[in-house]
A and B are shown apart, each in its own frame.
Chain A
């Protein structure tokens, strides 16, 4: 309990830090923030319009501390301001629509790469030095060295444009009414295939590496030798004895990755124009939509912190040593 409260305190501090950063950054812009944000169009705006914009940004003449208080109160009321690029939609609503696509892509990718990566890692460590171990882990390591968006570009070019097997943009066919119809779901899956494959390929090596390394050290333990001496079947030793213990650190890894689902697909989403949070973030930066940018950063951070906290709770339940502390 004490452990959980301490973690909760830490995540609250982290959220406060992100909040403060989000408040300070726009005010660090040299000169008048409103003018800098407006850039060239600013000169064509009337004084009233600029004043209204400053009001909307919270850049009033009020003292900095008072501005800060207003900002914090608004955030806790769930008010992240109004998006410029999707005017007049509030930031929270814009984020909401993108969230489900990011979750779809991120969670399927995590589940597939997690399962596949662990299997490859277990088998690789078990048959250390075999053809499988010499080929598979280094192969995925090699693939993982490529920038994710480069693989994505290659996939778009080869499978999307040359072979025309898969669509190259968006999450579903345009003009298709969303709903639980075979046609719509089929279209969603068809659009998901390429970004998902790239995302799995990029993330696979992390799981292979950690699981293989953990397996290697667990296999050196005495109880494994004991199990072999007892004459247990190889499968039982591999999964029931070795993999089971080597798997423990992966729970933390899973949690960290679960958090990064929200932010980890930015570049892949960008290349495939997949309408998730990452694509939204790069679009917001391109359109100089500062409220949306800040809102996304805060939202993603809050999500990551929440997931981390949940993982901490799960971990105290799985590993009694943490509880005993």
Chain B
């Protein structure tokens, strides 16, 4: 039984993606990660196809404010008399775009800065590490609020402000990993072979950090979605651009709570939590890649299922059959 669950089996197609992208394979086999992936893809599809799902401008006034859900407006209307369903569906667009946009910018910066610092070392490393530590120690949310208050609010400026406050954490991790990968024999071999710095960074070191970068991207997306929702909730983003955060802003500032209009704040808040949860679940799968101990534990649990054997506290070690 153990062999059945542990061996990936011979691949049918000519291209063996399991061997080529072992991390993608682990994620797809991880039950929680699979659910997370489905959730995130569904929410992203909702955002992408918003114009088809709920056609028209979500900012249009359609009925009296704070109206209870009905057949015509399944989620009722908000304090401005807008169709709440349209706001929630269109909100996915802006919220997810900001989340993924922030992650893309922040992780790009983190990777470049982290790898430069870790690879070249010396004074450059000292300066870059100092900058990273500065961004880590200065409190993020007040800085974010300050930036948002001074910048002209738009999707782009929000992404920039979030990326500015969110890049340093992963830059430090990537620097540390670069530092250790640089000492590996294959890097030494590449140097002896006369390869240039760029080749070594991009072809030798970077491929070994893909899982780290993907994990960082997902983590930063969660941060971007949550923090942009918070900023919008405080009224610090472009209020014309419908997002889950602006929906919550109007719920708080439009007497919806006082009138008992729960439908104005519950759906948007739930979707923010759901997207964060979905992304976090995908990252659990990523965790098993970086920390094989977790994976070994789960595989042991599966292998022992149905038997009377007992688990010991020591770290389980299992050999993978190939």
Contacts and interface: CB of A to CB of B under 8 A. Distances in A.
A300 B141 CA distance: 11
Given A10-B133, A147-B230, A149-B233, A300 B272 contact: no
Nearest to B32: A138
B130 A13 contact: yes
A281 B145 contact: yes
Given A147-B229, A225-B314, A293 B149 contact: yes
Contacts of A293: 145-146, 149
Interface of A is mostly: helix
Given A267-B233, A293-B149, A146 B139 contact: no
A286 interface: yes
A317 interface: no
Given A13-B134, A267-B233, A297-B146, A262 B139 contact: yes
Contacts of B148: 285
Interface in B270-320: 272-274, 276-277, 280, 293, 301, 311, 313-315
A146 B313 contact: no
A22 to B, nearest CB: 8
B273 A150 contact: yes
B260 interface: yes
A149 B248 contact: yes
Query: In which size bucket is the chain B interface?
Result: 35 or more
Nearest to B277: A145
A264 B141 contact: yes
B135 to A, nearest CB: 9
Interface stretch (A24-32, A85-93, A188-196): A24-32
Interface in A182-219: 217, 219
Contacts of B73: none
Contacts of B134: 13-14, 17
Contacts of B233: 147, 149, 267, 270
A308 B230 CA distance: 25
A293 B144 CA distance: 12
B150 interface: yes
A94 B273 CA distance: 35
Interface stretch (A52-60, A72-80, A96-104, A155-163): A155-163
B137 interface: yes
Contacts of B226: 147
A260 B229 CA distance: 19
Contact of B258 (A161, A260, A281, A282): A161
Interface string A266-287: 1100110000000001100110
B236 A297 contact: no
Interface string B142-178: 1101111110000000000000000000000000000
Contact of A300 (B130, B142, B229): B142
B23 interface: no
Contacts of A219: 313
Contacts of A129: 301, 311
Contact of B257 (A25, A156, A282, A285): A156
Contacts of A270: 233-234
B65 interface: no
The CB with the most chain A CB atoms within 10 A, among B145, B230, B258, B266, is that of B145
Contact of B139 (A21, A224, A259): A259
B142 A220 contact: no
Contacts of B272: 146-147, 150
> Which of A26, A145, A154, A297 has the most CB atoms of chain B within a 10 A radius of its CB?
A145
Contacts of A156: 257
Contact of A286 (B235, B260, B262, B266): B235
A308 B134 CA distance: 12
Contacts of A25: 146-147, 150
A300 B139 contact: yes
Interface string A233-274: 000000000000000000000000001101110110011000
B69 interface: no
B141 A153 contact: no
A3 interface: no
A266 B227 CA distance: 12
Closest CB pairs A-B (n = 10) = A150-B269, A263-B139, A220-B315, A146-B273, A145-B277, A145-B276, A285-B149, A145-B273, A25-B150, A263-B142
Interface of A: 10-11, 13-14, 17-18, 21-22, 25-26, 28-29, 129, 141-142, 145-147, 149-150, 153-154, 156-157, 161-162, 217, 219-220, 224-225, 228, 259-260, 262-264, 266-267, 270-271, 281-282, 285-286, 293-294, 296-297, 300-301, 304-305, 308
Given A154-B265, A157-B262, 20 more contacts: A14-B133, A14-B134, A25-B146, A25-B147, A28-B150, A145-B277, A147-B269, A147-B273, A149-B230, A149-B233, A150-B273, A153-B252, A154-B266, A225-B314, A263-B139, A263-B142, A282-B234, A294-B146, A301-B139, A304-B137
26 contacts: A10-B130, A14-B137, A18-B138, A25-B147, A26-B150, A145-B277, A147-B226, A147-B230, A147-B233, A153-B251, A153-B252, A153-B269, A154-B269, A157-B257, A161-B258, A263-B140, A285-B145, A285-B234, A286-B235, A293-B145, A293-B149, A301-B138, A301-B139, A304-B137, A304-B138, A304-B139
